[in-house]
Amino acid sequence: MTSPLRLTDIAAQAQVSEATVSRVLNGKAGVAAGTRHKVLAAMDLLGYERPVRLKRRSNGLVGLLIPELTNPIFPAFAQVIEQALAGHGYTPVLCTQTPGGATEDELVEQLEERGVTGIVFLSGLHADSSLDPSRYQRLSSRGIPFVLINGFNEHVNAPFISPDDRAAADMAVRHLADLGHRRIGLAIGPTRYVPSARKEAGFRAAVPEAEEEGRIQRTLFTVEGGHAAGGALLDRGCTGIVCGSDPMALGVIRAARERGLRVPEDVSVVGFDDSPLIAFTDPPLTTIRQPVRAMATAAVGALLEAVAGTPVQRTEYVFQPELVVRGSTAQVPEDTP
């Protein structure tokens, strides 16, 4: 049995007045869309069922394709994208690729069969420079608007949303250099992926001797990948390590501890993403924050412009990352040569 609505509880949860809650519940005008959304979200969080008159008909379905859920940055993006779509009256359909499951092409076909209004691709096949981009050209020819996050391809006529990966790598290196580190290494994913290639390019520009000295390790974007790369970089005497993802950074920290090294007293580690809960690791991770909310909001905005019939250009919107300094970086050890 549904509990009776208590305006006091809803108002407290939404941080608005009871009068505002009453106006929303009674469908009266004069309430800003953002405030209305806060009241409805408060009702959902408190377990109240929305009155029938407040249940909106969907403007349509929008597919959201993400590669996995194990890396927390992908659910973080998905949550913001879904909130933004819902705020515009669209129903998000989350499609996650899993090993042995449906491929991206198969998921797109299924979304087309359901009559989706548009599609958001997050770190999809578009990010792999070794693959044929014609799948997106065909999708465009079928009149389905789409937007692509993290991975630019000049052959695809669509809006792209990216962080400045080159600047991110340079930012991480400068932070370590300012702490006195001279032997700085990079643990990065396969460079056929555009974000990896761009991070590596930024790192090479800042540390031109690194490749020759074996201080660039290409591996997987996982804890296990970071563990393997970290071991190799530590064996080459690196005191500071830049990583292509937060899970990789946690793998590097594991490799350091297996060698009896302390983080950050002996080795400094910088991640990338600032994914949820990363501030609560041991030690709290210094990382380069991807501007998730700004990027996700821009992606939805670009998609809805295309849905509305605005001519789409092959444009890349680049967002600036931010260095977040926590406990995994420190001054280089005094006895370091």
Mean pLDDT of 243-254: 97
68 or 116, which is more confident: 116
Portion of the chain with pLDDT greater than 90, in percent: 67
- Tokens representing 256? 């350091």
Q: What is the pLDDT of residues 186-243, one digit of tens each?
A: 999 999 999 999 999 999 999 999 988 999 999 998 999 999 999 999 999 999 999 9
Classify residue 201 by burial, with Cβ atoms within 10 Å: 0-12, 13-18, 19+. middle
User: Does the pLDDT at position 331 exceed 70?
Assistant: yes
Q: What is the pLDDT of residues 77-100, one digit of tens each?
A: 999 999 889 888 888 999 998 777
Thinking of the domain 60-163+291-321, which architecture would CATH place it in? Answer: 3-Layer(aba) Sandwich (3.40)
User: Does the pLDDT at position 71 exceed 50?
Assistant: yes
Lowest mean pLDDT: which of 25-34, 160-169, 229-238? 25-34
pLDDT value, residue 317: 95
- Rounded Cα distance, 253 and 219, in Å: 16
Q: Which residues contact 256 (CB under 8 A, 6 or more apart)?
A: 230, 234, 262, 263, 266, 267, 269
Portion of the chain with pLDDT greater than 70, in percent: 96
Instruction: Report domain extents, the chain.
Output: 7-54, 60-163+291-321, 165-290
Task: For residue 105, give Cα distances in angstroms to 111, 117, 135.
Answer: 10, 17, 8
What's the pTM? 0.83
User: Does the pLDDT at position 34 exceed 50?
Assistant: yes
- Rounded Cα distance, 184 and 181, in Å: 7
Classify residue 181 by burial, with Cβ atoms within 10 Å: 0-12, 13-18, 19+. buried
Residue 187 DSSP label = E
- Tokens representing 16? 């608005």
Q: Which CATH number fits domain 7-54: 1.10.260.40, 2.60.40.420, 1.10.1740.10, 1.10.10.10?
A: 1.10.260.40
Mean pLDDT of 303-316: 86
- Residue pair 304/287 in contact by the 8 Å Cβ criterion: no
pLDDT value, residue 274: 95
CATH number for region 165-290 = 3.40.50.2300
Beta bridge partners of 90: 60
pLDDT value, residue 163: 97
pLDDT value, residue 240: 97
Average pLDDT value for the chain: 91
User: Quick one: pLDDT band at residue 1, thresholds 50, 70, 90?
Assistant: very low
Residue 193 DSSP label = B
Mean pLDDT of 32-52: 80
User: Quick one: pLDDT band at residue 308, thresholds 50, 70, 90?
Assistant: confident
User: Quick one: pLDDT band at residue 58, thresholds 50, 70, 90?
Assistant: low
Q: What is the pLDDT of residues 101-140, one digit of tens each?
A: 889 999 999 999 999 999 999 999 999 999 999 999 999 8
Sign of the C-alpha dihedral computed for residues 254, 260, 261 and 265 taken in this order: positive
pLDDT value, residue 6: 82
* 60-163+291-321 and 165-290 share one fold: yes
pLDDT value, residue 303: 95
- Rounded Cα distance, 281 and 260, in Å: 19
